[in-house]
Amino acid sequence: NKSIPDLAPLEAVLFDVDGTLCDSDPIHHQAFQEMLLEIGFNNGVPIDEEFFIKNIAGRHNDDIAATLFPDDLPRGEKFCEDKEAMFRRLASDKLPPINGLYKLTKWIEDHGLKKAAVTNAPRPNAELMIAKLGLKDFFDVVIVGSECERAKPYPDPYLKALELLKVSKDHTFICEDSASGIRAGVAAGMPVVGLTTRNPENVLKEANPTMLVKDYEDPKLWSALEELDKKGDSLKTAA
């Protein structure tokens, strides 16, 4: 894997949304838990966090529908649609940003970089979260998995972001919080900063991120960005 300093001069940063910009997984878990309870899923036993992480977190709704309703896909798809509407209602009240998010977005703006949000969430969800976080004007583009040929864990959404931003994978890094998202970024040929927001470290490590950080205040991240700046300055001097 390339390290972050190897990307100098940096051109862009790409972000997942759920769990990467904001700590939204508990809201998704709540919505799935309540709605699955209503239909007696799992013999009326509420789904726990382990089930949520294994079968739902970071995955596209088509995959979730197939997992939860393998014998009735249309029902699964309708269920997921209704769940997203419930998520939007819940998210309107509470949507905490990941610690240090605005410190990083300021650094990105100060460096004049391009930026994209790349998500498996439906567009209405993504736009709601981005607006609630005050980042509507921050992102140059929002890429949605269902609008690509294939969603994450395939690389297509990240490759589309590179194409629309007109930047190189050799000068771009990604922030992600799920194994599915990390795999997509790695398959697209970019270093991925993995956030241990909710998913277990061992699960994320298997997806091969360049580094794992607790949040955007993590000294490991800022040490890498400092090295990147130094390398960028020395390249300018050499030129």
Candidates 6, 16, 72, 170; catalytic one:
16
Strands 114-119 vs 12-15: parallel, antiparallel or unpaired: parallel
Three-state DSSP string of 216-228: CCCHHHHHHHHHH
Give CA–CA dist 238/14, Å, rounded: 28
Structure tokens at 32: 């799935």
Architecture of domain 4-23+97-238: 3-Layer(aba) Sandwich (3.40)
Task: Provide the β-strand partners of residue 117.
Answer: 15, 142
- Encoded tokens for 50: 């382990």
d(C-alpha 207, C-alpha 186), whole Å: 8
210/161 Cα distance (integer angstroms): 20
**pLDDT, position 141:** 98
pLDDT value at 44 more than 90: yes
Rounded to whole angstroms, the Cα distance separating 132 from 136 reads 8
pLDDT digits (tens, 9 = 90+) for 143-179: 999 999 999 999 999 999 999 999 999 999 999 999 9
Residue 190 pLDDT grade (very low, low, confident, very high; cuts 50, 70, 90): very high
Is 25 part of the annotated catalytic residue set?
no
- The yes-or-no verdict on residue 138 having pLDDT over 90 is yes
What are the structural domain ranges in the chain?
4-23+97-238, 25-91
Which one is catalytic: 18, 23, 25, 177?
18
Residue 92's pLDDT is: 85
When pLDDT is cut at 50, 70 and 90, the band that residue 130 belongs to is: very high
How far apart CA 31 and CA 25 sit, in angstroms, is 10
Examine the residue annotation and report whether 16 is marked as an active-site residue of this protein: yes
Report the distance separating Cα 237 and Cα 174, nearest Å: 27
The closest alpha carbon to 26, from 67, 4, 56, belongs to: 56
What is the pLDDT at residue 81? 95
pLDDT at 151: 95
Q: Is the pLDDT of residue 238 over 90?
A: no
Asked whether the beta carbons of 138 and 127 are under 8 A apart, the reply is no
pLDDT digits (tens, 9 = 90+) for 50-100: 999 899 988 899 999 999 999 999 999 999 999 999 999 999 887 999 999
